[in-house]
Amino acid sequence: MVDQPDIHNDDWNGVIDNPWRRLRQFTAARIGLGRSGVSLPTKEMLAFQLAHAQARDAVHTPLDFAALIQKLETLAEQYPLLNPEPPLKLHSEAVDRMTYLQRPDLGRRLDEASRVLLRQEQQTPEQPFDLALVIADGLSATAIAHNAVPFIQALCEELATDKQEWKLAPITLVEQARVAVGDDVGELLNAKTVLILIGERPGLSSPDSLGLYLTWAPVRGLTDARRNCISNVRPEGLNFSEAAYKAGYLLRESRRLQLSGVQLKDRSGALLESADDLTETTEKTATLEHSSTAADETITTESGQAAALHSTAEAKNFLLS
Amino acid sequence: MHKAYRYSLGSKTYEFRNLADLMARATPARSGDRLAGVIARSAEERAVAQMALAEVPLKNFLNEVLIPYEQDEVTRLIIDEHDALAFAPISHFTVGDFRNWLLSDLASSEMLAKIRRGVTPEMAAAVSKIMRNQDLILVAQKCRVITAFRSTIGLPKRLATRLQPNHPTDDMNGIAASILDGLLYGSGDAVIGINPATDNVAQATRLMKLMDEVISKYGIPTQSCVLTHVTNTLECIEQGAPVDLVFQSIGGTEATNASFGFNLATLAEAEQAALSLQRGTVGNNVMYFETGQGSALSANAHHGLDQQTCETRAYAVARKFNPLLVNTVVGFIGPEYLFDGKEIIRAGLEDHFCAKLLGLPMGCDVCYTNHAEADQNDMDNLLTLLGTAGCSFVMGIPGSDDIMLNYQTTSFHDALYARRVLGLGPSPEFEIWLEKMQIMSNAAGACLNEALPPAFAASLKTLPAGNSESEVSNG
């Protein structure tokens, strides 16, 4: 029998701590949580609930488009590279969030009113735009609210160093959008390249990951094989200047080679990758959990997670010493 | 094309184009079938379709294949391997009779094992569509499927766990930290299985070696698996890596599997290669498969079938290769296939029932993503229901949070909860080991020791002290 501890003692909190919690120096996994009986201690249970609540809010809180537009207009005053026209607010065919979550096909298409608006816009320019920036809520409004403007600022600085001129279309903002909606926008604006900034599916520890997807010669109906992706853009993942550097590289290469997607990866020596829409369950992840379909060695090369730590200097593992 | 099915309700006659259409309309509602456009158009149509399905003779499923024999190797597998002798005792039943029989006392564990090879996936799927959740639990609980490698899976009153120590950069010490956490919480008797962040042969080999050394050093009666593509594992075997189990995600149509980059011949080759290593001690089941409703539609390879029928066809693929473990990853795929906790729970119970009826060692990744309408309470419900149904194994992960795959599954703590409230022990070999290593004082009762077990205390001592957890940001 276990001795009955004195539960009236001030030190007693009902929790059996785990001395191996210090192994958290090696991982962000929730190890060494301790236990109450065999269950989660109160503090850990509530911490988890908070993380889940934040991830849920990231999915369901509507993006504050007015505030975002205001910030973008201020940014445009600072950076002449950006089109001086006010951002255009658009909407996908998914009428609300519940529809959006269940009908990825509708989130990939602009609704008719947005198409009309863009056709009017497109009547003016005498030459095509080099780049259209599209901002989409995707699965995390939090990601856009936190990270879209700082990334665009970093991208402006990156492109300002380029010798060639970049003629940008007015920025567009799309509500209830999936990645492919960017192709609709790019096509209607007559842009050579589209770069869509979209909120990724939030993880418990990463509710605000921003994804970037590039398409050369965007038209409706392209598949993920024609896109390149930069994932996990946020201060704790791939930071803004690194992300802008990678995006700048991609944009220049795409423009030089006049293509994007799998072929761009091949020709650039596996530095970059084409990628699936991370707001959706794609063929790869639909293999449940998990296996990727091909031996794609660079699967997370562009995410900050992998970039952070890949050296894995294999000193003797503690568990084997 | 096959015949239409009709059912009259009062003055109204409902018509279903063929057996596949009838099955789809009879399926309890879920978002993936809505997305595919095969869902019942009204609640009444669903109820009527279930009545019509209940009248369909089981024999029809042998004559009216849902995907043409010539077009699909999974259909060929199902038809060619059908055991007429095993089918004989149930061959005169309709789907409705089959449900009655399954629930009856005539359908003992022995009898269910006897007819198993006479049941096709489509028969299992059909009957599940007219069963309530309690029916799915009751019948699954009667089905016994026992497999073994270094531990034995599927014995009565046992619930095994897969220790899933994933890390976003495959950091070896990070993975080892999660393995240690899991072992000290009594997890890992089904398998220690890693989803690699970097998916190639060299990385898989590194991870296999790490797990092999840990298993040998501590004498753990379990097996390891790197969940990489089957062709990668084949290459690992050729290069002499210590492969225990071969993993592959599988689907229920040839086209789904082609989109995953393999066919039945690949799996046959892999099973033979793993068997040739003779690394099992108490058994020789060397395959590990994962499945999940919606994968065929996601691969645009569902041939107009509903997603649960596609899923069940994947079990024909699995049982051909004598797996140690199969699990459905039920809530991973997202709300466009299973929208909320109710749909996820229903699907988990269907998958478990159908697989057990067909003779598979079925476990479940009881899980959800943050954009699904589900939470920990839904997972508690499904875990408790599956534990009651005799589920072979569940996942175990630190604090339910998979920091690599960004979804939530059952934790080490959750498994101990289920073992305690349902009186379930770990696999017998592992139970002995847990007590020998002084991790538990009473492994059958899920009683963890308070003191750090000596063998692991020694390993922890080698670490430099004083490092705080703040060094790793949540990545």
pLDDT digits (tens, 9 = 90+) for A245-262: 999 999 999 999 999 987
Residues of B in contact with A293 (CB under 8 A): 229, 259-261
Token couple for B243: 């492969």
Residues of A in contact with B227 (CB under 8 A): 289-291
Q: Which of residues B167 and A293 earns the better pLDDT score?
A: B167
Chain A nearest-CA distance from B321, in A, is 19
Q: Contact B403/B474 with Cβ under 8 angstroms?
A: yes
Asked if A25 and B472 come within 8 Å (Cβ–Cβ), the reply is yes
Residues of A in contact with B471 (CB under 8 A): 24-25
Residues of B in contact with A288 (CB under 8 A): 249, 290-292, 295, 329, 332-333
Backbone angles phi, psi at B404, to 5 degrees: -95, -50
- List, in order, residues 6 or more apart from B321 with CB less than 8 Å away: B267, B268, B270, B271, B287, B289
CATH code of the region B1-56: 2.30.170.30
Count how many domains chain A has.
1
Task: Give tens-digit pLDDT for B362-372.
Answer: 999 999 999 99
State the Cα–Cα distance between residues A207 and B345, nearest whole angstrom: 25
Helices assigned H by DSSP within B224-305:
230-238, 254-259, 264-276, 295-298
Residue A55 inside a domain? The answer is no
A-B CB pairs within 8 A amount to: 286
Q: How confident is the model at residue A315 (pLDDT cuts 50, 70, 90)?
A: low
Residue with structure tokens 């184009």? B17
pLDDT at A6 over 90: no
Instruction: Choose the mutation target among B199, B263, B310 for the interface with A, i.e. most A CBs under 10 Å.
Output: B199
pLDDT at A294 over 60: no
State the Cα–Cα distance between residues B141 and A242, nearest whole angstrom: 54
Residue A2 inside a domain? The answer is no
Is A289 at the interface with chain B, CB within 8 A? yes
pLDDT at A301 over 50: no
Task: Give tens-digit pLDDT for B278-326.
Answer: 999 999 999 999 999 999 998 899 999 999 999 999 999 999 999 999 9
Select the residue of B174, B290, B467 nearest A290 (Cβ to Cβ). Answer: B290
Is A97 at the interface with chain B, CB within 8 A? no
pLDDT at A283 over 50: no
Task: Give tens-digit pLDDT for B17-33.
Answer: 999 999 999 999 999 99
Instruction: Choose the mutation target among A142, A290, A316 for the interface with B, i.e. most B CBs under 10 Å.
Output: A290
Select the residue of A20, A306, A317 nearest B184 (Cβ to Cβ). Answer: A20
Select the residue of A44, A237, A318 nearest B173 (Cβ to Cβ). Answer: A318
Query: What CATH number should be reported for the domain holding residue A219?
Result: 3.40.50.11240
State the Cα–Cα distance between residues B199 and B66, nearest whole angstrom: 35
Q: How confident is the model at residue A5 (pLDDT cuts 50, 70, 90)?
A: low
The helix/strand/coil state of B140 is helix
Is A18 at the interface with chain B, CB within 8 A? yes
Task: Give tens-digit pLDDT for B387-398.
Answer: 999 999 999 999
Asked if B34 and A310 come within 8 Å (Cβ–Cβ), the reply is no
Residue A290 inside a domain? The answer is yes
Residues of B in contact with A308 (CB under 8 A): 169, 475
Asked if A39 and B232 come within 8 Å (Cβ–Cβ), the reply is no
Determine the residue type at A306: A
Quick one: which H or E segment has residue B46?
Answer: helix B43-54
pLDDT at B440 over 50: yes
This prediction's pTM: 0.90
Asked if B400 and A48 come within 8 Å (Cβ–Cβ), the reply is yes
Distance of CA A312 to the CA centre of its chain: 25
Residue ranges of domains in chain B: 1-56, 147-448
Token couple for B403: 């920091």
Helices assigned H by DSSP within A63-180:
65-78, 97-102, 104-107, 112-122, 141-160
Select the residue of B371, B448, B452 nearest A38 (Cβ to Cβ). Answer: B448
- Residue ranges making up the domain that contains A74: 64-306
Is A308 at the interface with chain B, CB within 8 A? yes
The architecture in CATH of the region B147-448 reads: Alpha-Beta Barrel (3.20)
Residues of B in contact with A12 (CB under 8 A): none
Residue A201 inside a domain? The answer is yes
Return the residue of A nearest to B400 by Cα.
A30
